[in-house]
Structure 1
Amino acid sequence: MSDAPELPELGELLSALTPPAPVKRKGSLHANTVAELRSMIVTGVLAPGARLNERELCERLSVSRTPVREAIKTLIQDGLLRSLPNHSAVVAELDADEIAALVDVLAAIEALAGELAAARMTDEAVAEIGMLHYRMMLHHSRGELPGYFEANKAFHRRIIELSGNSVLGWVWDLLSLRVDRARYSSNLWPTRWKVATEEHQQILDALGARDPERAGRALRDHVRNGLSGLVAALREREAAPRG
């Protein structure tokens, strides 16, 4: 009998050379599920009043029922979903009074951020905001609303960051959970979408001129103009007789 050592199998060699697959952390899985479900609500894939089907969501998001159920609980707390007595959930309807109240607060916050940011703008910051505006214009020219919405949010978030006020950023993030769906819906009207791009140019010009007053006014008007039409449409629908 030979004393030569037994050679390992090919599978054993590959196992030794191949690093183990990363394990998904529970926190990351929850955050990703929440983000995907929130995106489906914001973009209208799940329409207002739609009842959630956990099994279908599990298949669509490629996750088990536990992260789906936890995500639903989170979005109920955020106000995007409404819990029913039988423990199921539906997508919350857009409420005109709530959106109007959000507009008042968001307009004031973004106006203040614009004033603070304009006073602190550097050439690099102006160029950065300009690139985000260019991305929005590119998506608008292609009719790509999801891409436009993403660039639009990055545009507004960067102005908040450039204000240098961390409290503004904290409050803005909280409001975004409620106002994103309304902002997305407002751009479904082609005429409003086009005007929004022109208003973003005015904001960019005011920031580039380092003009706090003009920047604040441009952002305040932009927020109000963007959502006033949606509020009016919702109030008209709410006032209409139900047949």
Structure 2
Amino acid sequence: MIEPQRQTGHAPLRPDAGDATAVAEMVADVLRERIVKGQLTPGDRIVERKLSDELNVSRTPIREALKLLRVDGLIEISRHRGAEVAGYTPAEALDLFDVIASLESLAARRLAETITPDVLDHLEILHARMTEYHRTAALEPYFDTNSKIHALVIASCGNPVLIASHSRLMLRAMRGRFMAIMDDNRWSQAVDEHDQLMAALRARDVDRAAQVWGVHLRHTGATVSQMLEMQIAGASRID
């Protein structure tokens, strides 16, 4: 199993990088990436003072960034413990990815019906790059490219309601997607499912595209749920 690197540093943000809202968004982006890639895990506390010193920004945009992340469902804020990274249960993982699977399956169906040569070419380039990252076990570049493929399928489906609904759910699901590819067997299975999607899109096979992509996301949800179950079991043995 591949272990993600836990990084504690980040290049300081420029205090003059824009207005307070822009700085808050930058801070939120830093924290989102750390949560998604396991540098911050469920239950970890986010200490305003330490983050302010690290990123070289005042505590006001830090607080605004934390509010944004709470709306996203990525952190919880309480009076006594402050800001903590949120998680989800095995059952919640299944429910979350079941809904995402339905949305992405519909997006794949619509895309197969209407795909243009330009979009297909773009997907081909990303797919080739992603499979090479898998071959060389380059986890983070793989994940970033994989995410671009999923985003392009959604963005190109032509349904703005679907796009908006999917966007909010994916903020919580990204951490689970990264967890899933840390399982070597699931990682290889996921690449095969991407191969199948590309074949369906090349053939304009709408039913096959929808079926493959729905299964792909449900497999991810099942893997995340199983990994969370294992974490709970491991914690119980330690206790």
Q: Once the 2 structures are TM-superposed, how far is the Cα of residue 237 of structure 1 from its aligned partner?
A: 4.3
TM-score of the superposed pair, with normalisation by structure 2: 0.86
**2:145 corresponds to which of 148, 151, 161:** 151
The alpha-carbon deviation at position 87 of structure 1 amounts to 5.5
SS in 2 for 1:210: coil
Say which one has the larger Rg. 1
Inter-CA distance 87–235: structure 2 relative to 1 (3 Å threshold): closer
Secondary structure of 1:94's match?
coil
Match of 2:69 in 1: 75
**Given that residues 48 and 91 in structure 1 are in contact (C-alpha distance below 8 angstroms), is that contact kept between their aligned partners in structure 2?**
yes
Distance, in Å, in 1 between the alignment partners of 2:62 and 2:22 is 13
Aligned to 1:111: 105
The number of equivalent residue pairs is 223
Secondary structure of the residue aligned to 1:29 is: helix
Q: Counterpart amino acid of 1:98?
A: E
1:162-193: CA deviation from partner (whole Å, max 9, x where unpaired): 21111111011011111011111111112211
Which SS does the other structure have where 1:76 is aligned?
A: helix
Query: Is this contact kept in 2: 1:34–1:71, CA < 8 A?
Result: yes
Distance 1:50 1:198 in 2: 34
Q: Is 1:102 aligned with 2:73? A: no
SS in 1 for 2:45: coil
Distance 1:173 1:44, change over 3 A: same
User: Residue deviations 1:182-214, cap 9 Å, x none?
Assistant: 111111112211221111111111111101000
What SS does structure 2 have at the residue aligned with 1:24?
A: coil
Structure 1 residues 1-243: aligned runs within 5 Å: 24-86=18-80, 88-238=82-232, 241=236, 243=239
Deviation at 1:25, TM superposition (A): 2.4
| Contact preservation (8 Å) 1:121, 1:208 | no
Deviations 1:57-113 (A, max 9, x none): 123333221111111122122221122332611111332122111111111101100
Do the aligned residues in 2 keep the contact of 1:94 with 1:182 (CA within 8 Å)? Answer: no
Separation in 1, partners of 2:233, 2:139: 29
- The secondary structure found in structure 2 opposite 1:46 is coil
Secondary structure at the aligned position of 2:173 is classed as helix
Please list every run of 5 or more consecutive structure 2 residues that lacks an aligned counterpart in the other structure: 1-15
Shift of residue 23, structure 1, vs aligned partner:
5.6
The residue matched to 1:89 in structure 2 has which SS?
Answer: strand
2:12 is matched with which residue? none
What are structure 1's unaligned runs of at least 5 residues?
Answer: 1-21
Q: Secondary structure at the match of 1:47?
A: coil
CA 1:85–1:27: 2 relative to 1, 3 Å = closer
